[in-house]
A and B are shown apart, each in its own frame.
Chain A
């Protein structure tokens, strides 16, 4: 589903990622962990070209991403993205936030798009908020709407960039529950998170990103219970 070859990314003279290869299969849930500033988010953002890699290939669902606008706009429809700070559209209601993409990009009819949106809102437990504006919702609710907004485009892959980092602790659970549901339904997911318990529960594979590369990878059990390399051990001992 996602195939990455020799990916490098620099910001000016600062090299963040170097020669990374990665293959993610359909239905796989991959979690990135690692120290802050280690490049996890940058790596994730290269997967839909919100950051343009300095070198290397990113192929998602058979489509190689490139700088060309038409290619990118098409490919991104298949790649859902959920941000740390939700980024809902404040001038639109919850329902309009979710239907904007399907109506304008997928050319769905308004009625059909609204019906689909209600289905998704129901799934994230917010059907009663359809006419609310984002500012009237809590952080956790906003993030669940943001997930519904992404899902409305029928993406093949979902990218999550620290989806619970901006939330009050009591709201983290509701967002993680929605994500667990998605994983159980077979969605291909790539998640950057600091929620280790969640990572252990939901991940098929955990990647420890440090030193500009995939420093260590394995099943949650391998990484969390028996890390092999010094930096992984050091990181886990500090946060567990």
Chain B
């Protein structure tokens, strides 16, 4: 079998540009996911029953259904809500962000619950409210502990973002498909796409490992 290097070299700039878009939606989705996940995670450990129930439903739904299906639902639902056609980028980030928010909520919940109960008591006995104690004392400590699972979530989402290619959004996977449609060089292009994903995920692993080392230096836990 021939491996057409020339073709790969010509396709590479297009694919790398697609990878840039993949990184962009991943970063923005994780940012959205962290905001949603933090709020939902805190709500899950609160003693307010309705909040617990709403967040439990949210987490169960988005963890219990395929991301692909969620992307389609949001793709068709958003225009109905807003009244006009949506930018695929907005759809992609909304779908991926809400989905990863459900996983990140669980990560934060576990992180918060791993903090010694004495911390909450100490905060409360100084006169802080429950929410203030969360904000100033519990969550900052939990954040350091959830760096590794957040890193995993980031890697998972980077790969899963390939699913937004189904709504025609031109990230790395979609770019690959389009090039193959023109050149029929399936093997070369898919290999190339896979290696680009691999390079990105390995880079993130290194970054997470670095953050973990740095945080473990200035924390007891």
Using CB atoms and an 8 Å cutoff, list the residues of chain A in contact with chain B.
48, 50, 69, 73-74, 76-77, 79-81, 83, 85, 87-91, 100-101, 104-105, 133-135, 149-150, 153
Contacts and interface: CB of A to CB of B under 8 A. Distances in A.
Interface in B163-221: 218-221
A149 B140 contact: no
A87 B218 contact: no
Contact of B127 (A77, A83, A87, A135): A77
B52 interface: no
B122 A87 contact: yes
Chain B contact-residue range equals 20 to 34
B159 interface: no
B118 A101 contact: no
A135 to B, nearest CB: 4
A83 B118 CA distance: 8
A91 B126 contact: no
A100 B136 contact: yes
A135 B221 CA distance: 10
Contacts of B136: 100, 104
B46 interface: no
Closest 4 pairs between A and B when the two form their complex, measured CB to CB: A87-B122, A77-B127, A81-B125, A87-B118
A101 B127 contact: yes
Most chain A beta-carbon neighbours within 10 Å: one of B118, B126, B132: B126
Given A76-B126, A89-B119, A105-B128, 20 more contacts: A50-B121, A50-B125, A69-B129, A74-B127, A77-B126, A80-B125, A81-B121, A81-B122, A81-B125, A83-B121, A87-B116, A87-B121, A87-B122, A89-B122, A90-B219, A91-B140, A101-B127, A104-B132, A104-B136, A135-B220
